[in-house]
Amino acid sequence: MRHAQDKSLILNSRPEVIRESVEGSLRRLGTDRIDLYYQHRIDPKVSAEEVAGTMARLIDEGKIRHWGISETDEAYLRRAHAVCPVTAVENRYSMMARWHESLFPALEELNIGFVAFSPMANGFLSGRYDANSKFEAGTDYRSFMPQYTPEGMERGQELLRLLERLGAEKGATPAQLSLAWMLCKKPWIVPIPGSRKIERLKENIGAAGISLSSQVIRDIDAMLDTMDLLVFGGSKRANSGGGGSLSPHYIPGGFSMFNFDYYNPTHIVFGKDRIGKLAKLIPEKSRVLMTYGGGSAKRSGLIAKIQASLGSIPSFEFGGIEPNPRYETLIKALDIIKKERIDFLLAIGGGSVIDGTKFIALAAKCKGDPQDLLKFGLAPIPSEVSSEALPIGVVLTLPATGSEMNSGAVISLGHAKLPVMSGLVFP
């Protein structure tokens, strides 16, 4: 993994790249062995088995002792572990970001440690920031993190008050309580808070001396379940062209778990009955084109439910996007966009509908022939062909497909299936 110029992530876990990276690290560190080496993000183009096999060979050669995976799910972890035992998983985890707790039973079963990065939600849980705190745009990631927006600050106050109250009882700071909560939850959770100041480092170390009972942990978790928090959820991925916008959203319908929002940088809204939030997520004064597939979304009443949730926001429909979206179909949407002055697209469906909507978003703002968008393969579309796109939101009606959180699409033209890559259409 490396960062592109725009700070997005370029993923490459090919065996030769892993080996080259290990050799480079050994050389720069001036050592002959790395104790714990991570695959820092999963590369969808390389299988778990191939990555694990590469790590096994590096262990046999004595170049690494153990290996881990960052930002993994259970399926990938089990596949990798079956080839070469995994020592640690490093995922985002804090009181505000708990979606990886579903992985805990597998970690206990496989005897794998959990390394929690951003354990204080990028400093928010330290309680040292308020609505007047400013972060330099372009150099400080917190400048665009949702927990530091006015709305995020307001939603987070209940949690900060909880930490202050518990801190008063334990003689601890909010930062120490947020770390102690996970240290006492499981003996195999290791938080890795970042710090630039020695006094903050000493404060964080003090969390190890705070004891919270299992009942207190359960009580805290029960209170967290009731909180509707905004929190940053990850980094944008550039393996599909990079770029991306912080404004679009996706809303899974009827997802059975506690409600929460996070950014990846797509603003992802999880939970039951969240469609009612649509009108607040779509920019004011938008004119919305709802795109969908064969008609099941309409027959099931979902389209009507979404229209009702939009309230006074003007909405229009474009259906018939195929399972392998075809250029000849998608191009027809441009007539509606022009006639109705559409300025926001809302895809309702799964990966094919999302892919087709991405192409429509680009075609609506294309500087020439929209078919030119299909000429560039896996390379990003040049700015002289397309430098802007209509914003996209998604109501995801199928389990996560990947298309809802990347900037690529595959469009059919004739007998060919052609990739389209542009950071302008990150949902």
Run of H or E residues at 420: strand 416-421
Residues 6+ apart with CB under 8 A from 393: 248, 249, 250, 251, 278, 281, 282, 344, 345, 346, 347, 427
Topology adopted by domain 2-230: TIM Barrel (3.20.20)
238-268 confidence digits (pLDDT tens): 333 333 223 333 333 333 334 555 455 566 6
pLDDT class for 417, splitting at 50, 70, 90? confident
pLDDT-derived band at 121 (thresholds 50, 70, 90) equals: very high
Model confidence at 214: pLDDT above 70: yes
Rounded Cα distance, 400 and 44, in Å = 14
Q: What is the pLDDT of residue 234?
A: 44
CA distance 413 to 371: 9
The length of the chain is 427
The answer to whether the bond into 265 is cis (omega within 30° of 0) is yes
Same fold, 2-230 and 240-425: no
The pLDDT value given to residue 9 = 61
pLDDT at 342: 96
308-318 pLDDT tens trace: 999 999 999 99
Q: What is the pLDDT of residue 151?
A: 86
d(CA 173, CA 164): 7
Domain ranges of the chain: 2-230, 240-425
Lowest mean pLDDT among 3-7, 274-278, 386-390, 405-409: 3-7
**What is the mean pLDDT of the segment spanning 95-102?**
92
pLDDT tens-digit series, residues 359-412: 999 999 998 899 999 998 877 788 888 889 999 999 887 655 566 777 788 899
Contacts of residue 397, defined as CB under 8 A and 6 or more positions apart, other chains included, come to 253, 297, 302, 348, 349, 350
CATH architecture type of domain 240-425: 3-Layer(aba) Sandwich (3.40)
CB atoms within 10 A of CB 174: 23
Structure tokens at 31: 């050592």
Output DSSP code: residue 380. P
pTM: 0.57
The model's pLDDT over 326-359, given as tens digits with 9 standing for 90+, comes to 999 999 999 999 999 999 999 998 888 999 999 9
pLDDT bin (cut points 50, 70, 90) of residue 106 is: very high
Q: Which two tokens stand for residue 208?
A: 């190890």
Parallel, antiparallel, or unpaired: how do β-strands 260-263 and 267-270 relate? antiparallel
The confidence score (pLDDT) of residue 1 equals 62
Check residue 152 and report its DSSP letter.
H
Helix, coil or strand: residue 136: coil
Question: Given this model, what pLDDT does residue 401 score?
Answer: 54
How far apart, in whole angstroms, are the C-alpha atoms of residue 153 and residue 130? 7
